[in-house]
Each structure stands twice: as C-alpha cells, then as structure tokens.
Amino acid sequence: MPNKPLLLLDDSELADVVGPPAFRVRQVRRWLYEAAETDPREMTDLPASVRERLAGIGVGSLRTVDTRIGDGGQTVKWLHDASGEVVETVLMRYPDRATVCVSSQAGCAMGCPFCATGQGGFGRQLEAGEIVEQVLVAARHLGERVGNVVFMGMGEPLANYAAVVDAIRRLHDHCGIGARRITVSTIGIPDRIRSLSRDVPPLTLAWSLHAPDDALRDELVPPNRRWPIREVVAALGDWRAAGGRRITIEYTLVAGVNDAPGLAPEVAAIARTLEAHVNCIAMNPTGNPRYVPSPPETVRDFVDALREAGANATLRRNRGADIDAACGQLARSRPAK
C-alpha cells in the first residue's frame, strides 16, 4: 500500500486504498475534488471504518506558509511548502469569474532573464496531486468551485508533461472544470504540443513568444536555441489542424529590448499564420536592471502597431504586482521571518 496522501495517489492506487465496492472510489473523489474536503472524517457517506482509515493517510501534501492579499482583496497569492520546495499559486477574482494560476514545477529550468522564476533556477517537478491541490486551496478560499485554471505560474508545464496531463484530466473529469476554461501556457516544445492535442480534452493553449525573430528570442527565451520559432509554429499549426482551439500568443514587453513598434508587423505575421490572438503585457519588475517594464504609452503604441498590421491584439491587465504575484514575479522565496 503506497504511503502517500490521497491526492498524490493515481487512480489505481486510490482504488486500492479505498477498497471495494467500486462506487466507494467515486464517493471519495467527489469529496476530494468537488467538495475540496481536507478531513476524511467529514466524508459523511462513507462507513466510519473507511473514514478512520483515510484519516490516517491524510488528503494533501501542501502546507501553506504565507497568504498575501492584493488588489483590494481581488488577488490572493499563496506560498505553499511542497515537501521542502516553495510553490506559488495566485487567485484572481473578476466580476464574472475566478481564475487560479497554478505552478507546474518548483522553479523553472528555462532561464528567461526577465522572469523571477527563471532567475531562481529549478527545484523539482510537481506531482499531479500537488498541482490540483493548489486549485483546491483556492476553491476553499472562495467557498465555491474554481471556474478557470491557467498553467502560468512557476515552471514550464510541458517540461513536466505526464504530471500536467494527469492534473488536467483530474481538473476536467473530477473537479468539473471545462476544457476551454483550462489554459496551458508554454514557451513551445514542439513534440509535446503535438501529443497534448491527443492526450487531453481541447483546452486553450498560450504560446509565450516575446520576440518575433530567433536572434532576439534566443536572448529572451533561451530554449529557443533548441526549439526555434519556425518549429514551434509548425507544431502549433498541427495543433490547430488536429482541432485545437484558437491559440493565444503572449508577448511581454521589455523596455528597449522587444518593444519597438517596428517589430510589431513580424509578430502580426506570425499571429496571422496561426490565426492567433496576441495578448500584450508589460513585464513586471524583477530586480534585474537590464530588463525593466516598457512604459504604458510604449505598450499602447505596440498594441496599436499590431492592430494596424492586421493582428487581433489586446492589452492584458496586470494583476497582483503589489504582492509580487504578477506574471514573471513568482520566485522560490520563503516569507521573511
């Protein structure tokens, strides 16, 4: 019998631990994923003996070490201890929905120089249960189910492929989150993009482009040297051809680095090829003096230049900067004592 909390068990391990009859597993899953219950003793439709046994095993493995509230209560950032690694999760509330931004790895090995996570290096892969538990913590805070999940926190999701696919299936099948409300944001790993279209329901894919040519992208997204733009574009074309939803291109504007309006037509050309929407966002400060945010007027001019070049482009609102919870600000730091 595996010595792991319930959320860390895969389907067959959970069935072994819960025991017959078969419907018992479905009951436990409802408690774990729909009710976000943390105490098996409260799983009231289970026999007392099963409740006691599951209570001895425990539900989750994340230990929340800090909770920060920003944007007047509309943004919440959690720091969780995941067996010695720090993992961050951000909840963003909007008038019509709540979105949880989850981490798929502790840290990140991709090394993007404008990103605090990339500068902090790689810790370890997260397990599927650790990813899903981040959503369950947010659901408990909200007092209701989470509507949207974005894999835009710490880590490159497609570099932790098996666990991310397992987490997506659990979010979809057990938590009841629709596939189009799940977004995976990737720097673009071609073979994983192709396999993702087969392995999970049709979710939303966001590609972090950040530069329209390989020379500049080699600097801003170092894995571009291994997976250059044309190879990612080909894989994304296959994703679309396989029935994948419309792709979003993420473009983070860094002052004096990738924000010249002259680059916009090249970005627009890539977007048109993929029939993709371009989401622009000013980078968030991370302390590296070479990489600082573009001024708001530069960001607006860039968005205008994209539209003039025929791209469908929007400016993404920045959330969570006051609590270091914005895009690119998630670092593996523990709270100050």
- Binding flag, residue 313, ligand SF4 (CB under 6 A): no
- Coil vs helix vs strand at 41: helix
CA dihedral of 319, 109, 164, 224, whole degrees rounded to 10: 90
88 catalytically annotated: yes
- Binding flag, residue 283, ligand SF4 (CB under 6 A): no
Token duo for residue 254: 């860094």
CB of 17 to ligand SF4, least distance (A): 34
Q: Which is nearer to ligand SF4, 172 or 332 (CB)?
A: 332
Q: What is the C-alpha to C-alpha distance for residues 79 and 325, in angstroms, rounded to an integer?
A: 10
Q: Which is nearer to ligand SF4, 120 or 212 (CB)?
A: 120
Pick from 28, 108, 184, 278 the residue near ligand SF4 by CB under 6 A: 108
What lies within 8 Å, CB to CB, of 193 at 6+ separation is 158, 186, 205, 232, 235, 236, 238, 239
CB of 235 to ligand SF4, least distance (A): 16
Residue number of the CB atom closest to ligand SF4? 118
- Binding flag, residue 282, ligand SF4 (CB under 6 A): no
- Coil vs helix vs strand at 304: helix
Stretch that binds ligand SF4, among 5-13, 63-71, 106-114, 142-150 (CB under 6 A): 106-114
> Are residues 83 and 127 in contact, defined by beta-carbon separation less than 8 angstroms?
no
**Run of H or E residues at 150:** strand 148-151
Pick from 132, 137, 187, 267 the residue near ligand SF4 by CB under 6 A: 187
Cis status, amide bond into 285, omega within 30 of 0: no
Number of residues counted as binding ligand SF4 (CB under 6 A)? 12
156 catalytically annotated: no
- Which of positions 203-242 make contact with ligand SF4 (CB under 6 A)? none
Q: Which is nearer to ligand SF4, 37 or 324 (CB)?
A: 324
Q: What is the C-alpha to C-alpha distance for residues 121 and 188, in angstroms, rounded to an integer?
A: 19
Catalytic-role residue among 108, 112, 115, 327: 327
Q: What is the C-alpha to C-alpha distance for residues 41 and 109, in angstroms, rounded to an integer?
A: 40
- Binding flag, residue 102, ligand SF4 (CB under 6 A): no
- Cα angle at 290 between 287 and 292, to 5 degrees? 60
Q: Which is nearer to ligand SF4, 151 or 239 (CB)?
A: 151
Stretch that binds ligand SF4, among 76-84, 108-116, 161-169, 313-321 (CB under 6 A): 108-116
- Whose CA is closest to 199, among 241, 155, 244, 151? 244
- Binding flag, residue 156, ligand SF4 (CB under 6 A): yes
Residue type, 269: A
- Binding flag, residue 117, ligand SF4 (CB under 6 A): yes
CB of 157 to ligand SF4, least distance (A): 9
Query: What is the longest distance spanned by two Cα atoms in the chain?
Result: 68
Token duo for residue 146: 């989470």
Query: What residue ranges bind ligand SF4 (CB under 6 A)?
Result: 108, 110-112, 115, 117-118, 154-156, 187, 328
Active site residues: 88, 327
